[in-house]
Amino acid sequence: MQVESTAFRDVKIITPFVYGDERGYFLETFNTQTWKGILPDRPFVQDNESKSTRGVLRGLHFQKPPYTQAKLIRVIQGKVIDIIVDLRKSEPTYGQSISVELSAENKKIFYVPRGFAHGFIVLSEEAIFSYKCDNHYAKEYDSGLFALDPELDLDWGMDNEAILLSEKDQNQPKWGDHFIFD
């Protein structure tokens, strides 16, 4: 597997080895032995999957302490732009974002440590999005940022008019109004 470090501490983009022939392909999406030394020694406790259509933007979501979550993200079908925003005040990348294209074709896996707001938008007709979390969902600690906030200046890869947001995501606070944690 190929591991790409980023300008953000502990954020990694992983391209697994894919073995294919006329029958199809095989890849290992996670193995504690193989990934030892690549990821922090935290067990993943929850797997999530969503299916969305073109233009659906989910995010930017995070959980407040003590229920922050690290995520190991991939796309099983389709194509998305995945964006994270660093919420860790102690980091030089605080308030900055990074994006990565994840698709069934490129099979990249995105590791996002605790302390980031996370969201994605579907660029294909539909996408199946899968991720592991290292902490359980806790509704009372659920939070987010308004993904179309001009102050964040995020490039979602399509016109804002074509983007579909849930009511919850339409009403998330903007960056300047937000509780940020370490």
The structure's pTM equals: 0.93
Could you give the residue ranges of the DSSP H alpha helices within 22-180? 32-35, 167-170
At residue 141's C-alpha, the angle toward residues 140 and 143, to 5°, is 110
How far separated are the first and last CA of the chain, in Å rounded? 31
Could you tell me the pLDDT band of residue 40, with boundaries at 50, 70 and 90?
Answer: confident
What are the structural domains of the chain? 42-177 (2.60.120.10)
Rounded to an integer, the average pLDDT of 111-121 is: 97
Among this protein's residues, is 118 annotated catalytic?
no
Q: Which of 19, 61, 67, 136 is catalytic?
A: 61
Please pick, among 19, 25, 131, 137, the residue that the annotation labels catalytic. Answer: 131
Predicted confidence (pLDDT) at residue 180 exceeds the cutoff of 80: no
Backbone angles phi, psi at 87, to 5 degrees: -105, 5
- Rounded to the nearest integer, the mean pLDDT of the chain is 94
pLDDT of the residue at 18: 95
pLDDT of 182? 53
Q: Summarize pLDDT for 117-133 with one digit per residue, the tens.
A: 999 999 999 999 999 99
SS3 category, 93: coil
The pLDDT score that the predictor gives to residue 31 is 87
Q: What is the pLDDT, as a whole number, of residue 181?
A: 60
Task: Judge whether 25 counts as a catalytic residue.
Answer: no
DSSP H stretches of helix in 21-171:
32-35, 167-170
Residue 161 has pLDDT above 90, yes or no: no
